[in-house]
A and B are shown apart, each in its own frame.
Chain A
Amino acid sequence: MEEILEILQEVRPDVDFLAEERLIDDDILDSFDIITIVGEFNEEFDIEIDVEDLEPENFNTVAAMQELIEKLQSE
């Protein structure tokens, strides 16, 4: 979780990621942020997030992102 937060805060220092629950639905993160975050996650956690995974429910909260990373790591 901490590594994820670190990456997120590096990309968007102005967002309180622990408090937000609708990061995508409320347009807090835009498509450019998402791509930057995905690039960092892929590198940091040695996973391959695919286009199919770019759904709001996978990026609306930090917990959802963590779940996605764990799912891809176990595959």
Chain B
Amino acid sequence: MSFTDIAFFAFVGVTVLAYFITPKRFRWITLLVASLAFYWINSGWLLLILLGTCTVTFGCALWIEASNKRGKEELKALGKKASRADKKNLRAKTKKRSRRILTVGVVLVLGALLLLKYYDFFADNAAGLLKPFGIRPPHFAFLLPLGISFYTLQAIAYMTDVFRGKVTADRNFCKFTLFMSFFPQIVQGPIPRHGQLAKQLYEPHSFDYTRLCHGAQLALWGLFQKMVIADRLATPVSQVFENYTQYHGLMLFLAAAGYGLQVYTDFSGGMDIARGVAQMLGIELELNFKQPYFSISIEDFWRRWHITLGSWMKNYVFYPLSLSKAFAGLSRKSRRFLGDFVGKRLPPILAMFTVYFLVGFWHGADWKYIMYGVWNGIFLVAGILLPEQYAKWTDRLHIDRESFYWRTFQIVRTFVICTLGRLFSRGETLEAAWQMFGSIFTEWSNLTFLSESTRLTLGLTERDWILLFAAVMVLLWVDRKHEHGIRLREAIDRQRLPLRWVIYYGGILAVYIFGVWGPAYDAASFIYGQF
């Protein structure tokens, strides 16, 4: 049951109705039942793997909290007269003990993800090394539980937050299972933090007509992005990427740009459906996109794109790595050889590279995804190391860095870098991506894509292209309004009733008439749902 199935809308309708007619103190149970039912319908017995992760995470968090509490009591028992060194030692001992428990939890939940999602990748890569010894690791092709890449990160964040004393460990296993499995976010996020989401799920919400309308509007907008734009773009994009040797130069760049737009509308559309459905129930999920096509640098892009993954990586990989003793030692040593400027920046640069390597790897068990991460990492590091040179160059060219034209140039430049990066994430293989990359730069003057005969062999009719163009213009207009802080749903609220209903029906009809439906279309394939 995908977010775009009629059955899903019926499921949401029943859940919303059931939620608001359930007595307030049991409303969280309605959400839990709906979430487990949704998971069961989609994944069957793989639900047990999710429940296994919930059990390990729940138990480890309680254990960590007990360890922290014991440390605090021991510190109290030392009394005020104890020396600073004694207190420091005791704190370090407590931390070490709690960290050990955290490690157990992380190894177990991450182990499940590594085994199920990455085992075959490791086996394939190890096969070459083990060949001389006559060993051939077996292939398993495990079925992936729905949302495992997302809920595993959620579980790690929760245990770490308990370890850091940011949140209190849950005492009720069923409530905690709801936090882990809440149905709008289980498929592809946003990756929530316990402090932001759990309380909203456990506390009852009263019915609010305006909020219900806003949630439905947001979900409808999500459907528009997914069904009118993303699914329409999927056909020509696949045609080019799957037959990349037949296309050249700018055509390949356009296909990569098309894929970028497809991923954006697919993922952001899915997020808006998830956020819209949650909003109907009175629950606010975190924002995952903030008009990424208006980014002025790669760094800015990653602040606006898949925000909750970026935030997770920052809090649970980048900061701990950068502040680790090993990295601090590296900084001291590198200053001696490389000077102050590079030495000071080396630990965060290495940590950032690690983050983008992991971001790539998280997307899939393939070297092409790793290259996608590294590609982004290179530009981020360049942005860190070269700001002074960058300022010098722009000064020398008498460029006003605040001007509209410069900002437009920055947006276009970021778009080009991101688009080239898409070759790695969408290319059939890493070799195919490099080949396409080369063709873009060596055969750029090949303009066959402009001809009607080429355009119409990509699986879309002339009507489809016009529709696609119009829909993308609507998307651009909406994103521009959001970029300027205009809240469109509130603006709709201020309109007279007949106009409001014209807008609602217009939206529904647009999705119904212009959405890509039909038997050939696999409604389950949200791109990020597969990650």
Contacts and interface: CB of A to CB of B under 8 A. Distances in A.
Interface of A: 27, 30-32, 35-36, 38-40, 42, 49-52, 54, 75
B166 A52 contact: yes
Pick the most buried of B166, B319, B345, B347: most chain A CB atoms within 10 A of its CB. B319
Interface in B302-341: 303, 314-315, 318-320, 322-323, 328, 331
B46 to A, nearest CB: 33
Contacts of B345: 36
A51 B303 CA distance: 20
Given A32-B384, A36-B348, A49 B323 contact: yes
B255 interface: no
A61 to B, nearest CB: 20
Interface residues of B, number: 24
Contacts of A75: 84, 87-88
B319 A54 contact: yes
A38 B344 CA distance: 11
Interface in B383-417: 384
User: Helix, strand, loop or mixed for chain B's interface?
Assistant: helix
Pick the most buried of A42, A51, A54: most chain B CB atoms within 10 A of its CB. A51
A32 B314 CA distance: 10
Pick the most buried of B88, B323, B328: most chain A CB atoms within 10 A of its CB. B323
A49 B322 CA distance: 12
Nearest to B352: A32
Contacts of A42: 328
7 contacts: A30-B299, A32-B352, A35-B318, A35-B319, A35-B351, A38-B323, A51-B319
B467 to A, nearest CB: 37
Contacts of A40: 344
A36 B88 CA distance: 25
B322 A52 contact: no
Nearest to A33: B348
Nearest to B384: A32
B314 A31 contact: yes
A40 B335 CA distance: 13
B23 interface: no
Contacts of A50: 323
Contact of B319 (A27, A31, A36, A39): A31
A52 to B, nearest CB: 4
A36 B318 CA distance: 12
Nearest to A55: B166
A36 B385 CA distance: 13
B344 A52 contact: no
A40 B319 CA distance: 15
B84 A36 contact: no
B164 interface: yes
A50 B348 CA distance: 15
B347 A52 contact: no
A36 B344 contact: yes
A54 B165 CA distance: 13
Pick the most buried of A36, A40, A49: most chain B CB atoms within 10 A of its CB. A36
B323 A35 contact: yes
Contacts of B166: 52
The 5 closest A-B pairs by CB, nearest first: A35-B322, A35-B348, A52-B164, A51-B319, A31-B314
Given A51-B320, A51-B323, A52-B164, A32 B348 contact: yes
B328 A39 contact: yes
B314 A35 contact: no
A12 to B, nearest CB: 10
Nearest to B325: A48
Contacts of B84: 75
B347 A51 contact: no
B88 A52 contact: no
Given A31-B318, A51-B164, A39 B352 contact: no
B165 A52 contact: yes
Contacts of A54: 319, 323
Given A27-B303, A52-B165, A75-B88, A39 B320 contact: no
B81 to A, nearest CB: 16
B204 to A, nearest CB: 30
A38 B347 CA distance: 12
Contacts of B351: 35
A52 B315 CA distance: 10
Contacts of B331: 39
Contacts of A31: 314, 318-319, 348
A39 B347 contact: yes
Nearest to A40: B344
A60 B343 CA distance: 26
A42 to B, nearest CB: 8
Contacts of A49: 323
Contacts of B87: 75
B347 A35 contact: yes
A50 B384 CA distance: 23
